[in-house]
Amino acid sequence: MMRTPIMAGNWKMHKTAREAVDFVTNLQKELGDWKETEAVVAPPFMALAPVAECLKGGTIALAAQNCFWEEQGAYTGEVSAPMLRDVGCRYVIIGHSERRAYFGETDETVNKKVKAVLSSGLQPIICVGESLEERERGDTVQIVERQVKEGLKGLDETAVPSIVIAYEPLWAIGTGKTATPEQAQEVHASIRGLLSSIFNPEGAQDIRIQYGGSVKPGNVDELMAQPDIDGALVGGASLDVESFARIVRFEKK
Ligand code: PEP
């Protein structure tokens, strides 16, 4: 199966509902009926409903940036996967490094959330990545493989078509330092190898693995030229219509 490239904009804690609607209105104008790449936007929770309304009938998909693993109940401040599905999301970003660093997320909570997302009929974008210290110690592959293995624990092959993995080296997020295409490819290939053993080789070929970390119009083409890089998870550059549209319409090398 051909893997359709997937470019997702993680807006983090940026944009009010009105700003978000203006942004996607312009993005839709810019992208027209572009279908070669799957474009995804992940606004803050408060903007999901109005943005979903705006995206109806179009080609851009909607993602949330997080969710809780229970469906409902006494969990003040949390949002569940069925609620996200109800509002029109297709994807949920799970285990972003900022959530692991500031909000206590662990491989175990990531796994619970991944399962909740899948059982609600949504698709998880599961984030993994090593710190600079871990890379310098030579532990990159070991750390990333642990995060993937624990994040996917207990899943079977029926999950394969729904899963997206995002490899985001922590030292490259928001720093302007991108992993070289070769550095990224090396980790992506090891993730795909691991996916073959968790699921099966065919399944592993179908799973899209995004790279994230200072992806910009100027470096997206060479990253996407790598055989195991199937898209990007984009922070900063996704907040600008022109930049994000250029990333979505990367040039094939
Ligand atoms: C991210 O937060 O997922 C990210 C990759 O951010 P940036 O593109 O700003 O490095």
Residue 168 among the catalytic residues: yes
* Tokens of residue 45, six digits: 């929770």
CA separation (Å) from 250 to 24, 34, 40, 214, 239? 19, 12, 15, 15, 17
**Mean pLDDT of the chain, nearest integer:** 97
Q: Which of ligand 1's atoms lies nearest the C-alpha of 12?
A: 2
Residue 93, φ and ψ in degrees, nearest 5: -75, 130
Residue ranges of domains in the chain: 38-53+71-248
| Candidate list 38, 96, 105, 188, residue with the active-site label | 96
Residue with tokens 């109800």: 86
Residue 188 among the catalytic residues: no
Residue ranges of the chain with pLDDT lower than 70?
Answer: 1
pLDDT at residue 1, as a whole number: 64
Distance CA 253, CA 246 (A): 15
pLDDT at residue 2, as a whole number: 85
- In the CATH hierarchy, which top-level class contains the domain 38-53+71-248? alpha beta
> Ligand 1 mean position to 219 CA, how many Å?
13
Residues with a CB atom less than 6 Å from ligand 1? 10, 168, 173-174, 212-215, 233-237
pLDDT at residue 137, as a whole number: 97
> Ligand 1 mean position to 74 CA, how many Å?
32
